[in-house]
Amino acid sequence: MSRFAKLLATVGATICFAGGLHATGYFEPQVYLDQGGKNVDGTPEFYWGLEVRRLAKEFHPSEKLVVLEKPKPESDEETSENKAGTQDTDAADLKDFEAALNEGRIKPPDPKKATELNKLARDTITSSSPVEEFDSEFADYHRGASAYLNKQWDQARKAWEDLLKRPEQDRHYRTVWAAFMLGKLALKTSDYKSASEWFQRTRELAAAGFADSLGLAAESYGWEGRSEWKQDHPEKAAPLFLTQLALGDASAVVSLKALIPDREPIRELLNYGPELDERESWNEEQKREQEQKEISKLKAAAQDPLLRRLVTVHILATASSPDLYSGDSSAAPVNRCARWLNIIKQANIGKVEDAEYLGWVAYNNGDYKGAAHWLELSKGDSGAALWLRAKLQRRAGKLADAANTMAQAVEWLKSSPAYTAPGGVDETWTEYDFFPEGYHWGWGQSSHGDLGGLRLVRGDFVQALDTFLKGHLWNDAAFVAERVLTASELKQYVDALPPTEPPKEGEDYNAKLRYLLGRRLVREDRYAEAAPYLPKPYDKVLEKYVKVLQDGANEKLSKTERAHAWFTAAWIARYDGMELMGTEVAPDAFAESGEFETPDIAKQLRSGVYQTVSYDKDGNEKKKNLRVVLKASPKEIRRLNANKINPDIRFHYRLVAGALAIKAAALLPTDSEELADVVNQAGLWVKDRDEKTGNRYYQIIEQRGAKTNIGRADIAKHWFVDQSGPWSTAEEEAYRALHKQLEPERSSE
């Protein structure tokens, strides 16, 4: 299975600094247990989208969001009447007009002509000369919309106010629309107090029974939130934005960020404040002024229960991961964790909601005593609280307690309604945040990674495999499957998997694990058992491989026949080796199609250390050995040694192929072209993997093939030459013919 190369990405330290430390380069395959398992010791990456949705669950508006046919614009400067003739507005307008006719709310002398003029008015709404319609609430609304789109604010206001002066029975369908647009108009003209009042009035009118065919009552929450934010009332804006999110409007996720006082701007995105370029141009005095403003707003936020929770989760959502879009800064980064905890302490708050989240802030800042303090002040039964308790238990050496607590946290996170999709237009958001693509660990991955790591340390190896698989941590699951479990344990696990249909999207982990098992059984020479687990056509390739291995060992055959069989086996091992016997992770990296090396977790655990690489300002490489966090038990070490890949070299099957070719050479006459061809090919296969073995093969050329054409060329070069001989040419042709014959079977999988 081919993988695309990883994109260039930005790396940051998992510390509580604003901005972050950055470096660029190709990202290596991601393994949760890499770097000595330090992820199990660190703070998981909290996701802003998930956390604000959790808070939004506390709001229960009666309004309903109308799902539009077209995606909602990202910028909240867009409006319902900002672009002429949107499909949704047009359809609602025509439908409402027809209903008004049928109900007798409007009685034009010529209903057909009135309907045509109504449609024409919609179609030409941006015109500076509005269509003369039948006098009705619809005509009033269209006049206001046309003036609004032509930035004639006074005319728009008058038209909509005139509409609202009509008797109630004459404005059933456009009262809510007019009130909503008067709120938008007030925003446009910076009359923010009036804007808030009009948006509140929009909901009141909809609740009173006036038609709301576009769901403007629901949409008004977000716009009122913006109006309050413009008035510097974040404590009023917060519940409005969260109500907007509770209704299923995902744009509130971004709007809520506007309420975070010390949020750094992100280039090319909506920032609700001074942009990055502006900040970079500030002198030191301006920077100090901005910092004092932020601290003052943070102190105010600390006194408001909702803002306090929002600031806390924003710090957690940005503290443990780099900001991909922020610019590099030469200024010393601000420790947001320490500053926020100090502000909270100074606020002397009596009751603290979500105290476990402040515990995570302390934990992320290295204050484990403080983390325990905040945890004790929490209810202790949320996923975040259980997870934090498991972290602290692990640090205290209580591995059994930590594993049990972490298992509870995983179940809570999977089943809690706090993290389920809101039922709006963004049903996939929660799943994405739990199992995101790319190099970020979602909560689903991190929680399963922590639990899997704890189970591994405790010797619950099969459970560890199961946990990593369910957490979408394939490379970690593959490590356990290949290096920790015995082949028989793995086979028993795979055979017990319930039959399932392949997923429509994403990885089919059951199929991947079956294939991994098949290749492992091949490596252990359990060929008959391996065949059922290999996908087509490699079950047939294995059949051919086994046949020639048997022929090579058959002493009843002639030496030439046996040599030819050994060389055919060598050829298959070399060119189908990755698919037949390659390891999923280190050393072969089948998971990456061999394009990238995967971290050697077994090596880290066996040695007890892992290595970090950094570069100084001059570009000089600095390596440092650090002790692993998750120390392997003696039982695990024994298994790692017993399941060692032989040879433990990247693309190890090339060494297997070379060894088979040398078996063929041992049966061939000295100074025969066939012998030189076979040994030269073996050398070409191993020379870049194991120079010592390559030197041994070269000595065979010197001793037994010096008088051949290929032998002379090798000796002249003092190494192997890229040259085909009689047997390698024949094997290449036979290999191509075999795969051409088997190729159609691929499409039948």
Q: What is the CATH number of the domain that holds 279?
A: 1.25.40.10
Which of 300, 326, 348 finishes a domain?
300
Angle between helix 383-395 and 399-415 (nearest 10): 160
Under 8 Å between Cβ of 227 and 240? no
Which of 300, 319, 347 finishes a domain?
300
Q: What is the dihedral of CA 462, 465, 468, 472, to 10 degrees?
A: -130
Tokens for 593? 């199609």
pLDDT (0 to 100) of residue 741: 87
- Residue 278 CA to residue 260 CA, distance in Å, equals 18
Q: What whole-number percentage of the chain has pLDDT above 90? A: 70
Lowest average pLDDT, out of 67-81, 138-152, 443-457, goes to: 67-81
Under 8 Å between Cβ of 32 and 453? yes
pLDDT (0 to 100) of residue 733: 95
User: Is residue 66 scored above 50 in pLDDT?
Assistant: yes
- Residue 115 CA to residue 139 CA, distance in Å, equals 11
Q: Which pTM value belongs to this model?
A: 0.86
Tokens for 265? 């701007």
Q: How many CB atoms lie within 10 A of CB 603?
A: 16
Alpha helices in 23-151 (DSSP H): 34-37, 48-56, 87-103, 111-123, 137-149
Q: Average of pLDDT values for 334-358?
A: 92
pLDDT (0 to 100) of residue 89: 84
- Residue 175 CA to residue 203 CA, distance in Å, equals 11
609 phi/psi in degrees, rounded to 5: -135, 155
Q: What single-letter amino acid sits at 568?
A: T
pLDDT (0 to 100) of residue 322: 37
Q: How far is CA 368 from the centre of its chain?
A: 28
In a domain, 48, yes or no: no
Beta bridge partners of 615: 621
Under 8 Å between Cβ of 537 and 697? no
User: Is residue 658 scored above 80 in pLDDT?
Assistant: yes
Q: For the segment 470-517, what is each residue's pLDDT rounded down to a tens digit?
A: 999 999 999 999 999 999 999 999 999 998 888 887 889 999 999 999
pLDDT (0 to 100) of residue 279: 75
In a domain, 394, yes or no: no
Q: Structural domain tally of the chain? A: 2
pLDDT (0 to 100) of residue 62: 93
Q: For the segment 684-730, what is each residue's pLDDT rounded down to a tens digit?
A: 999 999 999 999 999 999 999 999 999 999 999 999 999 999 999 99
List Cβ neighbours of 266 (8 Å cut-off, separation of 6 or more). 276, 323, 325, 326
User: Whole-number mean pLDDT of the chain?
Assistant: 88
User: Is residue 748 scored above 60 in pLDDT?
Assistant: no
- Lookup result for tokens 């979408």: 472
Lowest average pLDDT, out of 302-316, 581-595, 607-621, goes to: 607-621
pLDDT (0 to 100) of residue 331: 46
In a domain, 695, yes or no: yes
Q: Which domain range does residue 296 map to?
A: 87-300
First to last CA, the chain: 13
pLDDT (0 to 100) of residue 84: 34
* Comparison of pLDDT for 92 and 521, the residue scoring more: 521
In a domain, 460, yes or no: no
Using DSSP bridges, classify how beta strands 8-10 and 24-26 pair: parallel, antiparallel or unpaired. Answer: antiparallel
Helix (H) or strand (E) holding 464: helix 461-470
- Lookup result for tokens 């913006």: 226
User: Is residue 17 scored above 60 in pLDDT?
Assistant: no
* Cα separations in angstroms, 59 against 32, 76, 217, 244: 36, 22, 15, 9
- Lookup result for tokens 């808030």: 196
In a domain, 7, yes or no: no
In a domain, 91, yes or no: yes
Beta bridge partners of 609: 627
Q: What whole-number percentage of the chain has pLDDT above 70? A: 87
In a domain, 128, yes or no: yes
User: Is residue 78 scored above 80 in pLDDT?
Assistant: no
C-alpha atoms less than 13 angstroms from C-alpha of 748 in its C-beta half-sphere: 7
611 phi/psi in degrees, rounded to 5: -115, 135
Where residue 321 falls among pLDDT bands split at 50, 70, 90?
Answer: very low
- Residue 531 CA to residue 373 CA, distance in Å, equals 57
Closest CA to 553 of 681, 653, 652, 667: 667
pLDDT (0 to 100) of residue 730: 96
User: Is residue 609 scored above 50 in pLDDT?
Assistant: yes
Cis peptide, bond prior to residue 422, ω within 30 of zero: no
196 phi/psi in degrees, rounded to 5: -60, -45
pLDDT (0 to 100) of residue 9: 28
pLDDT (0 to 100) of residue 407: 98
Which of 285, 300, 315 finishes a domain?
300
Q: For the segment 440-449, what is each residue's pLDDT rounded down to a tens digit?
A: 788 889 999 9
Q: What single-letter amino acid sits at 726?
A: P
pLDDT (0 to 100) of residue 135: 93
Q: Average of pLDDT values for 34-48?
A: 92
User: Is residue 74 scored above 50 in pLDDT?
Assistant: no
- Residue 552 CA to residue 566 CA, distance in Å, equals 5
Q: Average of pLDDT values for 286-311?
A: 92
- Residue 679 CA to residue 663 CA, distance in Å, equals 10
pLDDT (0 to 100) of residue 420: 66
* Comparison of pLDDT for 421 and 560, the residue scoring more: 560
pLDDT (0 to 100) of residue 418: 75
**CA-based Rg of the chain, rounded to a whole angstrom?**
34
* Cα separations in angstroms, 337 against 313, 315, 360, 650: 11, 7, 10, 43
Q: What is the DSSP letter of 256?
A: G
- Residue 652 CA to residue 479 CA, distance in Å, equals 16
- Residue 550 CA to residue 180 CA, distance in Å, equals 82
pLDDT (0 to 100) of residue 502: 84
Lowest average pLDDT, out of 88-92, 102-106, 384-388, 693-697, goes to: 88-92
CA-angle at 659, arms to 658 and 663, nearest 5°: 115
- Residue 81 CA to residue 148 CA, distance in Å, equals 8
719 phi/psi in degrees, rounded to 5: -170, 180
Closest CA to 186 of 163, 165, 157: 157
pLDDT (0 to 100) of residue 275: 72
Q: How far is CA 313 from the centre of its chain?
A: 19
* Cα separations in angstroms, 352 against 296, 335, 342, 347, 502: 20, 22, 15, 11, 46
Task: Kindly report the length of the chain.
Answer: 749
What single string gives the DSSP state of each residue in 493-560? HHHTSPP-PPPSSS--HHHHHHHHHHHHHHHTT-HHHHGGGSPTTHHHHHHHHHHHHHHHH-TTS-HH
pLDDT (0 to 100) of residue 20: 35
Q: What single-letter amino acid sits at 78?
A: E
625 phi/psi in degrees, rounded to 5: -95, 130
Q: For the segment 385-427, what is each residue's pLDDT rounded down to a tens digit?
A: 999 999 999 999 999 999 999 999 999 988 887 776 554 434 5
Burial of 525 (0-12, 13-18, 19+ CB in 10 A): exposed
- Residue 32 CA to residue 600 CA, distance in Å, equals 12
Q: What is the DSSP letter of 266?
A: -
- Residue 597 CA to residue 708 CA, distance in Å, equals 38
pLDDT (0 to 100) of residue 617: 81
User: Is residue 746 scored above 70 in pLDDT?
Assistant: no
In a domain, 209, yes or no: yes
What single string gives the DSSP state of each residue in 342-369? HHHHHHT-S--TTHHHHHHHHHHTT-HH
Tokens for 702? 């010197």
Burial of 696 (0-12, 13-18, 19+ CB in 10 A): middle
pLDDT (0 to 100) of residue 489: 98
Give the 3-state secondary structure of residue 16. Answer: coil
* Cα separations in angstroms, 517 against 297, 480, 490, 575, 596: 57, 12, 7, 20, 21
- Residue 612 CA to residue 605 CA, distance in Å, equals 15
- Residue 245 CA to residue 267 CA, distance in Å, equals 25
